[in-house]
Amino acid sequence: MQHPPALMQFAKWPQKGQVKTRLAAELGERKALEAHLVLTDTVLKNLMDSGYPLTFWWDRELTETPIEAEGILLRLRKGGIPQRVQQGADLGERMANALDEAIAHAGAGMIVGSDCPAVTPDYVRRAAQTLETADVVIGPSNDGGFVLIGAKRSVPGMLEGPAWGSEQALAQTQAALHEKGLQVECLEPLWDVDEPEDWARFQRLR
């Protein structure tokens, strides 16, 4: 690749009751929102440290800014990181659209979710290196999903069909990509934060 891959962080707009709902069942909505913000900021710092050009993608158009989001917005402004809004009817379409744009402008793109604090700068660099020889790179998560997806080639509908958020998401994504004729390579599995035990693990490791 002539240019470094475009790195993208996907995040939900921080709104109480709308984020980390599985954590909220045990922690309450306020604590779940705080957890979402801590995780988002941790991932943001890791991705900034990777050295790749980074864009931050919210899941909705930004209107009012809740006070809870001010810290992240300040870090984005200080880092000169552009903010965008994801486009598409579901997660697969939103990721495919973002990857298409990155491929068109930078030759390749990589997406990391905001609940994946185990994605280190080195992990991002190894994903980029994998794209030197593969069409698509995936960083699996230990719950059946994935923490990172990158591509230097895309085809229409390549991320249609998987049941996002389910234990089958990774396997279904791999099957869909192979069916489209894309060469897929996987990195070692990592963990993300969805359940209360994941949050407890993150806190122990901080």
Q: What is the pLDDT of residues 39-52, one digit of tens each?
A: 999 999 999 999 99
Other C-beta atoms lying within 10 Å of the C-beta of residue 31:
14
Long-range contacts of 102-107, Cβ-Cβ distance < 8 Å, separation of 24 or more: 102/5, 102/6, 102/8, 103/151, 103/152, 103/153, 103/154, 105/6, 106/3, 106/4, 106/5, 106/6, 106/53, 107/1, 107/2, 107/3, 107/5, 107/152
Helix, strand, coil content of the chain in percent (nearest 5): 40, 15, 40
User: In the chain, which stretches have pLDDT less than 70?
Assistant: 1-2
Residues 35 and 20 sit within 8 Å (Cβ to Cβ):
yes
State how far the alpha carbon of 67 is from the alpha carbons of 10, 14, 29, 37, 64, in Å.
20, 10, 16, 11, 9
Other C-beta atoms lying within 10 Å of the C-beta of residue 184:
19
pLDDT of residue 127: 98
**Backbone conformation region of residue 181, classed left if phi is above 0, alpha if psi is from -120 to 50, else beta:** left
Residue 199 token pair: 């949050």
pLDDT of residue 2: 66
pLDDT of residue 96: 97
Q: How far apart are CA 42 and CA 24, in angstroms?
A: 20
Cα 64 from chain centroid?
23
pLDDT of residue 69: 81
What are the pLDDT digits (tens) for 148-168?
999 999 999 999 989 988 899
Residues 191 and 202 sit within 8 Å (Cβ to Cβ):
no
Which residues, including other chains, have CB under 8 Å from residue 132's CB and lie 6 or more apart? 1
Which residues, including other chains, have CB under 8 Å from residue 196's CB and lie 6 or more apart? 22, 23, 26, 27
Q: How far apart are CA 54 and CA 5, in angstroms?
A: 9
